[in-house]
Amino acid sequence: MTHRRWYTPWLLVGPAVLWLAVFNLWPTANTVVLSLTDARPLGGGHFTGLANFRRALTDEQLVDALVNSIVYLVVCLPLLTLLPLLLALLVERKLPGITAFRTAFYTPVIASAVVVALIWGWVLDDRGLVNGLAQELGAITRPVPFLTDRWLLLLSAIGLTVWKGLGYYMVIYLSALGNVGRELHEAAAVDGASVLRRFWHVTLPGVRSTMLLVSVLISVSALRVFSELYVLSDGTGGPGGRDMSVVMLIQMYSRGFTGHLGYASALSLLLLAVTVGPMLLLLRFDRRAAR
């Protein structure tokens, strides 16, 4: 007969709990503490209460960064929720050579975000491929400032994010479409339902939970965007820093000569609140749709 010792379960879950405490709970608690101080990289800092949060409410740079992040989210969310689904519907069919198409769409996913952003930077530069071809064809007389105009830079980064994320979310949808009963499509077709009606009444309900998951993943990624804007703007956040996302602003305040760790921590907590908001809305929307 095997004798179970009381500490056996703790030995099994102990490493996971230790990992969670060291790499998740402790940094979170430390961020909360730092947000209430004026800490610098080379100084301990003093308790300042809610001064960092009051400063954030009047920070014009934060407002610009927040607007950029929200625009990023509002544009990326519908594009990266619907386009991969349509793409998955196209490539799920077993046709000759379809594997090559799936591989082509998935290739950007495994490429480094920095490398992809560098390539896009070369393509969209004033002397890059796009402006060069457009000038050769006579479509424009001077280069389009894709990387030096606030909104064009933002749209360029959004295009990069959508292009790179299509394959990733397409694979998620492919696995979800495999669980949608083919007999339901066949029964609907026998009843005379058009392709659009079958998509609306059979496919969409079958992948609704996956769409929710994808939406949450996109929301978190969009609000935490950094590499795309950082590389495309050559690390400056664009002219005057008005193209920075909230994450870029946090990075700027938390390192280098700026080094306002306390203020950067307060911004991190505000970003957390902004990130949780869309997720709660999506969950509420899903619950209503399920009724």
pLDDT at 60: 86
Phi, psi of 210 (to 5 degrees): -70, -40
Of residues 269 and 290, more confidence is placed in: 269
Gap between the Cα atoms of 225 and 238, Å rounded: 15
Phi, psi of 47 (to 5 degrees): -65, 125
Gap between the Cα atoms of 28 and 236, Å rounded: 28
Quick one: average pLDDT of 30-42? 86
pLDDT at 46: 85
pLDDT at 291: 66
Quick one: average pLDDT of 21-29? 89
pLDDT at 81: 92
Condensed to tens digits (0 to 9), the pLDDT of residues 74-83 reads 999 999 999 9
Contacts of residue 264, defined as CB under 8 A and 6 or more positions apart, other chains included, come to 250, 251, 253, 254
Condensed to tens digits (0 to 9), the pLDDT of residues 172-222 reads 998 888 888 778 878 888 887 888 888 888 888 888 888 988 988 898 888
HSE-up (13 A, CA, CB side) for residue 122:
5
Q: Residue 230 pLDDT more than 90?
A: no
Partners of 37 in the β-ladder: 47
Averaged confidence pLDDT in the chain: 84
pLDDT at 240: 66
pLDDT at 79: 93
Q: Which two tokens stand for residue 254?
A: 């938390």
Tell me the three state secondary structure of residue 37: strand
pLDDT at 290: 67
> Sorting pLDDT into bands at 50, 70 and 90, what band is 4?
low
pLDDT at 2: 56
Helices vs. strands in the chain: H and E counts, helices first = 15, 0
Answer whether 122's CB lies under 8 Å from 129's CB: yes
Q: Residue 246 pLDDT more than 80?
A: yes
Quick one: average pLDDT of 125-133? 88
Gap between the Cα atoms of 195 and 186, Å rounded: 11
Of residues 285 and 58, more confidence is placed in: 58
Partners of 43 in the β-ladder: 40
pLDDT at 84: 92
Name the packing angle between helices 98-110 and 60-91 (round to 10°): 160
Residue entry with tokens 């490539």: 91
Contacts of residue 145, defined as CB under 8 A and 6 or more positions apart, other chains included, come to 126, 152
Contacts of residue 47, defined as CB under 8 A and 6 or more positions apart, other chains included, come to 36, 37
